[in-house]
Structure 1
Amino acid sequence: MASSDRSSSPRPVPGSYGLPVIGAVRDRLDFYYFQGQDKYFESRVERYGSTVVRINVPPGPFMARDPRVVALLDAKSFPVLFDVTKVEKKDLFTGTYMPSTSLTGGYRVCSYLDPSEPTHAKVKQLLFSLLQSRRDAVVPAFRSNFSALFSTVESQLAQQGGKAEFNKLNDATSFDFIGEAYLGVRPSTTELGSGGPTKAAKWLLWQLHPLVTLGLPMIIEEPLLHTFHLPSFLISGDYKALYNYFSTAASQSQSRVLDTAQSLGLSREEACHNLLFATTFNSYGGLKVLFPGLLAGVANAGQKLHSRLANEIRAAVADAGGKVTLAAVEKMELVKSVVWESLRLDPPVKFQYGHAKTDLQIESHDGALFQVNKGEMLFGYQPCATKDARVFGPTAKEFVGDRFLGEKGKKLLKYVYWSNGRETENPSVDNKQCPGKNFVVLVGRLFLVELFLRYDTFTAEVGTELLGARLSSQESRKLPPALAPRKIYRAHPAAKP
């Protein structure tokens, strides 16, 4: 939080950027290869004795406008990044660099707009209208797509010696689900065919490559991914194919979203590029992270939590006449807590940025006030804030499924920041909170509903090698193995209860 009415004098923000260019390169190597993200930030907090510090963040020289930031690394200082009266968000979605607009049809899409820009309100209102108009389509579209996913996983387990590629199936299923839920048209049934997820993944990589590592040797990754922008013409065909799907589907009778865009004062072309970005980058990109992380977290939580989830889900569905309805899902308090806990520990977007609009005084947990000057870049590494032991106690880094139950749990919700805002607040045209905030929490709950209507319990070990997973269910089925990116799991036949 920011404060300006303290009696104590603010002090300069501690930290160091090092020598020009050299310091930023060294810090980037620490971030990607020598320390890793969490250790990189934790070590700076320890070194300078402060959770508000000056550091360099990737991608650094040659690609970034300026890698120097003031990092906010606790739950108290972090929320100033949500206050658009104090920070500007223009062109800061990916931080200290911005991908070429040739990757988005020549438009600066909503994620890169500050709320003060008129187009921001128009696009965000369009997204709100789309989500509202398609609200009743979400549950049937989800159940249809993910029921098929689990059936395919079970078939693969039977045919491939207890192994299944969950991530690949999840990518294809999530892409189809998003298209059907938002636009009423599964991408795989159009000219895109089965190639949609691959084209989307390439397009995402072209925008995010300065911030990712693919596990390649440093000598290859540094010049390839972290030094220069990948040329956009290499994926222009993939983007055109994605655009054609969205343009056609968004014009059909089930959504009419482009007609709505025109009524809001947007051209159909600009609206379509924004719709593509919000659907593919924000929604689909988020589900690629959310579902594997949720499945892995719940798997590791153990059978006691599984039993509680299964009982709650099945009782609510039984009370709804055996149907999965929005009203039934709303009654599942533990399910919702589990989804929030997964989003707290592993937020799909870990970095937030903002330029100080004025001179600011920012307060940390220690009660210290730090002076930040107008124009400086503020940066937040969300896992440091959402795993803050001063808020979440000794279990801050652990998965506690029922953390947000009861009055005590509800008080912690304001420290869940995954949506670029507090979980207790709602997105609007005047802020930068994710317009699909409630949609994401809903589909996370639907994922658990689909899982525990099929299975009683399962185990899975997360790692880079083939590992074991076991399911015990009333119907003695096999487990769809949890899968994190680039990781494979082996499932074994279920044991009868």
Structure 2
Amino acid sequence: MAFTTTNNDNHLPLKQLPGSYGLPFIGPIFDRHDYFYNQGRDKFFSTRIQKYNSTIFKTNMPPGPFISSNPRVIALLDAASFPILFDNEKVEKHNVFDGTFMPSTNFTGGYRVCAQLDTTEPNHALIKGFFLNALLLRKDSFVPLFRSILSEAFSEIEEGVSGKSGKADFNTIFSVASFDFMFRLFCDNKDPSETILGSQGPKMLDTWIIFQLFPIETLKFPKIFNYLEDILLRTVPFPACLTRSSYKKLYEAFSSSAVTLLNEAEKAGLKRAEACHNLIFIAGFNSYGGFKNQFPTLFKWIGSCGKTLHKELANEIRAVVKYEGGVTIQSLEKMPLVKSVVYETMRIEPIVRYQYAKAREDLIVESHDAAFEVKKGEMLFGYQPFATKDPRIFDDAEVFVPKRFVGEGEKLLKYVLWSNGKETDEASVDNKQCPGKNLVVLLCRLFLVEFFLRYDTFEFETKEAVVGVSITITSLTKASST
């Protein structure tokens, strides 16, 4: 049998895949309980790396029985093996966006949206090409639109901190800000609160998203409820009818407001309805869902570094803005510390933890130390936080290093993998890399710039959330100079 290799020049020893799937039905459930409750995600993987003395091994991934018919995967847990998941000549991504199961297409109007399509499917190039072009046509709106929304968000935070409670809920404020930005960007700058959605758009999206993700998440209830939660979330998939009413309103709001974009879609050869369902998924699931978690994560890591980093960021930002005469895409490119801090956040705590793909052919996949045979059709799974914190690549891999990607450190950007691709690669119709990759980086930088133009430093409280972290702002110090 012929195998193709990810790198023919390494001459690594060919070893048998370690690990076990356990007994049918029972093995996946035991692994699921370890993953969610007994060990937790990171310990689930780290203990198996130690047990098998390998960063590549066989295991089961949730949800398992009864939702997933085949929970078996080959886990890739280092920076050497992980990139095979981006090689579309060797792997395919037909219906693997959510891993070993797929939510009903009833959540998306009966359509398989672009995220569920493989690159070989004709609609993939059509849909992704359209959205790449749509972002390109709207690039001049990114900075002024987001600055306006940030100004409103920061004013709301100030009101909370100066009010009776002395606190502001960062997550709630930036959930609304993220939704407003994506809606206005794609919907001719229309205020979503003036549509059928009113002020409920973010909550409707939250419900729609979490109902699709319940089988692969935990609600972090007290331990006594673990097994009850497991039965409730992972016995049968949640039906789309539970979100039908809110999704219908989302569809109506986008359909009636994104007139220009949907006209462009029809000219590109897309059905208007299919384009609108894809728009909701990209603007809602991908973009809003990502931003509402990315900004609190970024804020957490900036806050944890304390006033010294805050001062360095403020000094760089204010100096560049003064020299350049304003905040522009060009001025953002001249802030190496700001750029490095954003990349370091994406490295140390990538918002998207998982990547899945099926082998198109028999393969040989390599870790740093060994090579392993993978047969056609087997599911490959990558746990991204382990790949981006690989100690063989990064010094002090578990430590947030703000200047990691400054100067010579830029050479390490190819190991920052948050976007379903390397940071040094670009999204195209031929790959599965996030079409909004560059926009996400831009908005994270812009967030820091606007914040440190207004404030010198801040204090906060944080706690774990169902997804990501929850941030409460307790103190803001206004900028002493601008």
TM-score (norm 2): 0.94
| CA displacement, residues 138-193 of structure 1 (integer Å, 9 cap, x when unaligned) | 11111111111111111112223311111111111110111112322231222211
Q: Distance in 2 between matches of 1:302 and 1:6?
A: 43
Q: What's the counterpart of residue 350 of structure 1?
A: 353
* Residue 197 of structure 2, aligned match among 187, 192, 195: 192
Provide the secondary structure at the position in 2 that maps to 1:389: coil
- Assess, with a 3 A threshold, how the Cα gap between structure 1 residues 440 and 9 changes in structure 2: closer, same or farther: same
The answer on 1:313 being equivalent to 2:317 is: yes
Fraction of identical pairs, as percent: 51
Q: Distance in 2 between matches of 1:18 and 1:269?
A: 44
- Assess, with a 3 A threshold, how the Cα gap between structure 1 residues 493 and 271 changes in structure 2: closer, same or farther: closer
- 1:39-78 counterparts in 2 under 5 A? 39-78=43-82
* Residue 165 of structure 1, aligned match among 162, 165, 169: 169
The answer on 1:297 being equivalent to 2:301 is: yes
The answer on 1:451 being equivalent to 2:451 is: yes
* Residue 381 of structure 2, aligned match among 379, 382, 388: 379
Q: What's the counterpart of residue 421 of structure 1?
A: 421
* Residue 250 of structure 1, aligned match among 239, 249, 258: 258
Provide the secondary structure at the position in 2 that maps to 1:489: strand
1:461 shift after superposition: 4.4
Q: What's the counterpart of residue 477 of structure 1?
A: none
Q: What's the counterpart of residue 237 of structure 2?
A: 229
Q: Distance in 2 between matches of 1:484 and 1:310?
A: 29
Q: What's the counterpart of residue 215 of structure 1?
A: 220
- Assess, with a 3 A threshold, how the Cα gap between structure 1 residues 5 and 159 changes in structure 2: closer, same or farther: closer
Q: What's the counterpart of residue 406 of structure 1?
A: 407
Q: Distance in 2 between matches of 1:137 and 1:463?
A: 34
Provide the secondary structure at the position in 1 that maps to 2:59: strand
Q: Distance in 2 between matches of 1:93 and 1:278?
A: 13
Q: What's the counterpart of residue 31 of structure 2?
A: 27
* Aligned-residue RMSD, C-alpha: 1.9
Kindly indicate whether the alpha-carbon contact (under 8 Å) linking 2:456 and 2:477 is maintained by their aligned counterparts in 1. Answer: no
* Residue 491 of structure 1, aligned match among 470, 474, 479: 474
Kindly indicate whether the alpha-carbon contact (under 8 Å) linking 1:300 and 1:460 is maintained by their aligned counterparts in 2. Answer: no
Deviates more, 1:167-176 or 1:81-90: 167-176
Kindly indicate whether the alpha-carbon contact (under 8 Å) linking 2:297 and 2:468 is maintained by their aligned counterparts in 1. Answer: no
Counterpart residue identity of residue 338, structure 1: V
Counterpart residue identity of residue 311, structure 2: S
* Residue 94 of structure 1, aligned match among 88, 92, 98: 98
| CA displacement, residues 189-216 of structure 1 (integer Å, 9 cap, x when unaligned) | 2221100001000100111111111122
The answer on 1:137 being equivalent to 2:120 is: no
1:227 shift after superposition: 2.0
| CA displacement, residues 218-272 of structure 1 (integer Å, 9 cap, x when unaligned) | 1331122122111111110111111111111211xxxx21122122221111111
Kindly indicate whether the alpha-carbon contact (under 8 Å) linking 2:458 and 2:475 is maintained by their aligned counterparts in 1. Answer: no
Q: Distance in 2 between matches of 1:93 and 1:69?
A: 14
Q: Which runs of 5+ in 2 are unaligned?
A: none
* Residue 175 of structure 1, aligned match among 154, 158, 179: 179
Kindly indicate whether the alpha-carbon contact (under 8 Å) linking 1:355 and 1:375 is maintained by their aligned counterparts in 2. Answer: yes
1:428 shift after superposition: 0.5
Q: Distance in 2 between matches of 1:334 and 1:13?
A: 42
Q: Distance in 2 between matches of 1:356 and 1:303?
A: 48
Q: What's the counterpart of residue 246 of structure 2?
A: 238
Q: Distance in 1 between matches of 2:141 and 2:376?
A: 46
1:464 shift after superposition: 6.2
1:488 shift after superposition: 5.5
| CA displacement, residues 466-491 of structure 1 (integer Å, 9 cap, x when unaligned) | xxxxxxxxxxxxxxxxx995745361
Provide the secondary structure at the position in 2 that maps to 1:136: helix
Q: Distance in 2 between matches of 1:496 and 1:193?
A: 34
Kindly indicate whether the alpha-carbon contact (under 8 Å) linking 1:199 and 1:238 is maintained by their aligned counterparts in 2. Answer: yes
Counterpart residue identity of residue 438, structure 2: N
Counterpart residue identity of residue 211, structure 2: W
Provide the secondary structure at the position in 1 that maps to 2:373: strand
Q: Distance in 1 between matches of 2:28 and 2:461?
A: 36
Deviates more, 1:297-306 or 1:279-288: 297-306
- Size of the aligned set, in residue pairs, is 472
Q: What's the counterpart of residue 366 of structure 2?
A: 363
Kindly indicate whether the alpha-carbon contact (under 8 Å) linking 1:462 and 1:484 is maintained by their aligned counterparts in 2. Answer: no
- Assess, with a 3 A threshold, how the Cα gap between structure 1 residues 145 and 4 changes in structure 2: closer, same or farther: same
TM-score (norm 1): 0.92
Counterpart residue identity of residue 306, structure 1: H
- Assess, with a 3 A threshold, how the Cα gap between structure 1 residues 12 and 205 changes in structure 2: closer, same or farther: same
Q: Distance in 2 between matches of 1:412 and 1:34?
A: 35
Counterpart residue identity of residue 389, structure 1: P
Q: What's the counterpart of residue 392 of structure 1?
A: 394
- Assess, with a 3 A threshold, how the Cα gap between structure 1 residues 303 and 14 changes in structure 2: closer, same or farther: same
Q: What's the counterpart of residue 344 of structure 2?
A: 341
- Assess, with a 3 A threshold, how the Cα gap between structure 1 residues 4 and 485 changes in structure 2: closer, same or farther: closer
Q: What's the counterpart of residue 471 of structure 1?
A: none
Provide the secondary structure at the position in 2 that maps to 1:391: coil
Provide the secondary structure at the position in 2 that maps to 1:371: strand
Counterpart residue identity of residue 252, structure 2: N
Q: Distance in 1 between matches of 2:117 and 2:197?
A: 29
Provide the secondary structure at the position in 2 that maps to 1:429: coil
Kindly indicate whether the alpha-carbon contact (under 8 Å) linking 1:81 and 1:378 is maintained by their aligned counterparts in 2. Answer: yes
1:35 shift after superposition: 1.1
Q: Distance in 2 between matches of 1:39 and 1:236?
A: 37
Q: Which runs of 5+ in 1 are unaligned?
A: 466-482
- Assess, with a 3 A threshold, how the Cα gap between structure 1 residues 434 and 15 changes in structure 2: closer, same or farther: same
The answer on 1:106 being equivalent to 2:110 is: yes
Kindly indicate whether the alpha-carbon contact (under 8 Å) linking 1:162 and 1:493 is maintained by their aligned counterparts in 2. Answer: no
| CA displacement, residues 305-324 of structure 1 (integer Å, 9 cap, x when unaligned) | 11111111111211232x21
